[in-house]
Amino acid sequence: MNKALASSCISVIAAGSAARRARLRTVLPAALLLLAGLCALVAASLTGVRGPGTYAVVAPPGSRLADAVEIIRAADGRLVRPGRFANIAIARSARPDFAQALRRAGAWAVIDATGQGGCLAPLLERTPS
């Protein structure tokens, strides 16, 4: 009787771990893609962004445009245009340490946006011709 019970418990545990492995296989690609995207954002934020110029300023999640503008003002910059999301703004300054000042003021990421806005720029509304 004990052998049958032990065998039954082992088969239940094995079935549960197989289900967990199958679930992990479906979630793992998305998790890896998310991790790669976050690493790329951090790398873009920390490397090669120095000196005066135009930058995409990413405020903490949940921030509003007013919060991003406040970060820009604290770093002695000016708003060029809002970004596509409420916590992103494009800013410019002649200050040599503008990118570092933005980070010190609370920006989560500072990305060089000279001559481009990419997906950070707002969608343009089409007007009928």
- Phi, psi dihedrals of residue 115, rounded to the nearest 5°: 70, 10
Mean pLDDT of 71-98: 93
Cβ atoms 121, 129 nearer than 8 A: no
Q: Which residue has the higher pLDDT, 97 or 115?
A: 97
CB half-sphere exposure, 16, CA atoms < 13 A? 6
The single-letter code of the amino acid at 73 is R
Residue 33 pLDDT > 60: yes
Residue 17: the pLDDT is 74
Model pTM? 0.56
pLDDT of residue 41: 66
